[in-house]
Structure 1
Amino acid sequence: MLLCLPFLIDLHYQNTQHYGYGLRILGPQQPGVVLLSQELIAALLACSLFCLFLISDRGPRHLPTINFDQLFASLYESYSESQENKLRCIVHYFQRICLQMPTRSVSFERKLLSLGHQPLQSCLSYPYADFWTKSTIPLCPFQVHSSGLIEDHAIGTLEVDFENKYLGGGALNRDCVQEEIRFMINPELIAGMLFLPSMADNESIEIVGVERFSDYTGYSSLFRFTGDYVDKRNVGSLGRRKTRILAMDALCSPRMKQYKLNYLLRYVNFWF
């Protein structure tokens, strides 16, 4: 896969140059889309596995960790079964794609609501309380489920990644909760960590088309890889699986402050 990377990069830019979907840094307050083939994602993740990406300028550019060195180091510095099982998910992903390379596409889109008086091109302005109190638009139909996992509910739903302003959170480090688990069972999500800097309060990231490769049980320290998972979701537009994940920066231990007006607006606007 690594040896194919130069060819895959050239092919990628040939196929995307006319549509504006090419691989690039989608910087803060810059809406845009990157569309990658699953084969190119596999090559990029192989670079991460072997820690080949330069990291000297990632901090100043507010980019998350992308190489796997910290994940490997955590096995020796403070061993836990959950960390070992995170790596088992990653190894299983590479085993699967070596047997049969997937041929679909995945898109990564930085979405934002403009904070200025004049919305940016292709962006809506940030709605404040006055907008919502005067709105007469009815809510769309919705269902409430008291049990089950986000990734196991109905096909076609928007699945939310509640976690960290840095896409992926601690997926390539020690953490192992909602976001990190999702990035292990759907490793193609990790590719977005390469080119998507941290999110502000008016931004979110939508990822469409990732394939799930692993099954699991447990949460946090009890997380365990339990074997292969065959993703049977249908394929939609642009050759993407019908899996839509919306990443947003959740408040840290908000308690009652989440009901203050500015925080309520923040969450309502994420969905807007």
Structure 2
Amino acid sequence: MIEGEPPDKKRQVMENNSLSDEDISQVLLEEENRPENFSSSSYSRTEHIMEDSWDNYKHFGPNSMAPIIPSASHSVLFKLPVCSGKPPDPFVGSNKDCWDNHHVRMPFSNHSLYPIETPSGKVLKPRWELVKEALSKEITCSRELEDAILSYNTRYRQKWDFSGLHYFFEEVLDSSEGEYFFESILPGMVHLALSLPALVQSPIPLLRRRQPASISLTQKQVASLLANAFFCTFPRRNTAREPSEYSTFPDINFNRLFQGHKWKPKAQIAVEKLKCLFHYFRKVCSRDPVGVLTFTRRYCPESLLPKWSESREMVPRLHISSTGRIEDEGYGMLQVDFANKFIGGGVLGLGCVQEEIQFLIFPELIVSRLFTEALDKTEALVICGCERYSVYKGYSDTFRWTGDFDAKKSSPNCSGVSRDQYGRLLTSIVAIDALNFSMPSRQYSQDALLREVNKAYVGFSCPDNLPDLPAVATGNWGCGVFHGDAQLKALLQLIAAAKSKRDLVYFTFGNEKLRDDVQSIHSFLCSNKIPIGELWQHLCHYYTDCHSNGSFTSSLYDYLYSVLEEPVPSRQMSPQIKGVDGDEEVAVEGEAVEEDDVFTREELDQLEGTIKAYYAENGALSQGNTPPSVENG
């Protein structure tokens, strides 16, 4: 969209790009109130956007991922080493059934008991026996599937809604497709689910807050866990209300996905989600997946975070494009998931934006909801080796599943089926959650800036100090319903990438103006050799310098150009900036300089004039000499 276009023209452009009415209204509202909505001289700074090749940016190689080494902080649920071309065998732990608040409570645990009505009263029976009994019966339609699931979830018989599932099979699919599902796909899903005790023979730890740890699973183990999630077998995971045991975890059982919706767009989203997931199950049931995935919770104590104002790194290389998508052109790079702190967001509910779509086309990501507690402010979740199964079109209400993902055909940067020595596909996704700024101006406060740049840094950095780190593939992180300023978020991600020693590949999702603006200021920062510490300090001053009476007197980029284009002596930052790095007082670059040790601009001009006059009187200038320039210090 071009600034200055009337709202009806902007609406037409967004409709052509498949945005929903709700999203269009939100965008137009943000356009009215966004602080960068000023006439700006910076728009003409980049007359030509340099086009470089995706191949110039690093992708994952066989040595780009941390090795899989069992330890107290890395639970490996399969035997090492792995044999190429076949699913690894499960590792048999000393205690298969850990029924405590440090591990996933498994459906087959002997401790999972369920009350059953008998002629003599209620008795407790192992719930897994009920699951096996219900799923082993022939199931020929969605009504029978509902009865099977509710037979071991009887307390939810009046609460859970399966009308969306019935709509899918009775109204969306034709009779032959429904018969194929219940005759071929569903039996395979049942077999996967009931194989869980044989496939997972070690306890799965919970990835708790502020406890960095990793879990490595085979793709087949993940498929079995997800089949159990579909059949809603995980105990104690059907409520998130406090003070329930899992109130700080996302839900994992699929019951919310089955509910119906009177509003047609939402009903269609549920249909498309089921198409994605049933396609995944069809694939893994027809042929055993042979790979491995690693889920890593990263946590960085605040004491170990960078002192941003002291950072001397330059901004990294940047490729920015208004076309392409993170999951396509960014394939093989570190792909950013614009996450909810509850990983996966609304993937099992009504949500269908960037994170939910990523979890639908990479369904193995959904299993992270089983064991990942809500992310804290200096935490991220990294998933290595996940496989993509689907392609799609649209976004939010217009999202549509369009078929199978063929890595070699669908992604220009895909390396096909390349894996590392452990069987992990050379793909990696990092989940980082942005703040929700209901009051958009708050994002320019120093506390908010610090939180967001730290969050990005934790996600982008590599504690294992691996060589040849791939580029980060990202975009307008936290800039939709969370009201983030895309210009600001681009700079914060550049700063974090520079500190993490990674290049940045940025997708603006059709916004050509944003592409040009970010490219322009990136070129300016590079050509003027502005270190990220200096850029950071000016970002921290923007709010206090430009916010007055509820509005901004300058756009962010115009402000940065104005302060960074001043002569170096005038760009000297104040000796102390309160709260810039989260401390009460933080000293910036170098020592504080006494006023008496610095010339004023007027004094410099007078001194330089005196020197020129001296040279003129003595004829030095006529001989081609140049008078020395006068600098502070």
* TM-score, length basis structure 2: 0.38
From 288, 293, 309, the equivalent of 1:101 is 288
Residue by residue over 1:44-88, the C-alpha shift from the partner in whole angstroms, topping out at 9 and shown as x without a partner, is 000000010111676543110101100111x35655211110110
Take 1:237 and 1:205, find their aligned partners in 2: how far apart are those partners?
Answer: 22
2:427 corresponds in structure 1 to: 243
Take 2:370 and 2:245, find their aligned partners in 1: how far apart are those partners?
Answer: 14
Residue by residue over 1:149-177, the C-alpha shift from the partner in whole angstroms, topping out at 9 and shown as x without a partner, is 11012443211111310000000011111
Q: Percent identity?
A: 38
1:3 corresponds in structure 2 to: 194
Counterpart contact for 1:155–1:233, Cα < 8 Å: no
Take 2:422 and 2:450, find their aligned partners in 1: how far apart are those partners?
Answer: 33
Q: Which runs of structure 2 are paired with 1:156-195 in the superposition (5 Å)? A: 156-195=332-371
Structure 2 gaps, min length 5: 1-191, 408-415, 458-633
Matched, 1:66 2:252: yes
**Cα distance change on mapping 1:212 and 1:142 into 2, 3 Å:** same
Shift of 1:237: 4.8
Matched, 1:86 2:86: no
Take 1:98 and 1:77, find their aligned partners in 2: how far apart are those partners?
Answer: 33
Residue by residue over 1:22-59, the C-alpha shift from the partner in whole angstroms, topping out at 9 and shown as x without a partner, is 72101011100011100000000000000101116765
Q: 3-state SS of the aligned residue for 1:133? A: helix
Take 1:253 and 1:218, find their aligned partners in 2: how far apart are those partners?
Answer: 26
Residue by residue over 1:78-118, the C-alpha shift from the partner in whole angstroms, topping out at 9 and shown as x without a partner, is 55211110110000000111111211011111001113x5x
**Cα distance change on mapping 1:165 and 1:237 into 2, 3 Å:** farther
Q: 3-state SS of the aligned residue for 2:276? A: helix
Structure that is richer in helix per residue:
2
2:601 corresponds in structure 1 to: none
Q: What letter is aligned with 2:298?
A: K
* Larger relative contact order (Cα-Cα within 8 Å, sequence gap ≥ 6): 1
Take 2:252 and 2:281, find their aligned partners in 1: how far apart are those partners?
Answer: 17
* TM-score, length basis structure 1: 0.86
Q: What letter is aligned with 2:206?
A: I
Take 1:90 and 1:47, find their aligned partners in 2: how far apart are those partners?
Answer: 13
Q: Which runs of structure 2 are paired with 1:1-272 in the superposition (5 Å)? A: 1-10=192-201, 13=202, 23-54=204-235, 55=237, 59-61=244-246, 62-73=248-259, 75-76=260-261, 78-79=263-264, 80-115=267-302, 117=303, 125-127=304-306, 131-231=307-407, 232-253=416-437, 255-272=440-457
Counterpart contact for 2:433–2:455, Cα < 8 Å: no
- Give the number of aligned pairs: 250
Q: 3-state SS of the aligned residue for 1:198? A: coil
Q: Between Structure 1 and Structure 2, whose CA radius of gyration is higher?
A: 2
Counterpart contact for 2:251–2:369, Cα < 8 Å: yes
Structure 1 gaps, min length 5: 14-21, 118-124
Q: What letter is aligned with 1:84?
A: V
Counterpart contact for 1:235–1:242, Cα < 8 Å: yes
**Cα distance change on mapping 1:56 and 1:183 into 2, 3 Å:** closer
2:626 corresponds in structure 1 to: none
Q: What letter is aligned with 1:259?
A: Y
Counterpart contact for 1:48–1:68, Cα < 8 Å: yes
1:19 corresponds in structure 2 to: none
Q: 3-state SS of the aligned residue for 2:297? A: strand
Q: Which moved more, 1:57-66 or 1:225-234?
A: 57-66
Q: 3-state SS of the aligned residue for 2:321? A: coil
Runs of 4 or more, structure 1, over 6 Å off, are none
Counterpart contact for 2:250–2:373, Cα < 8 Å: yes
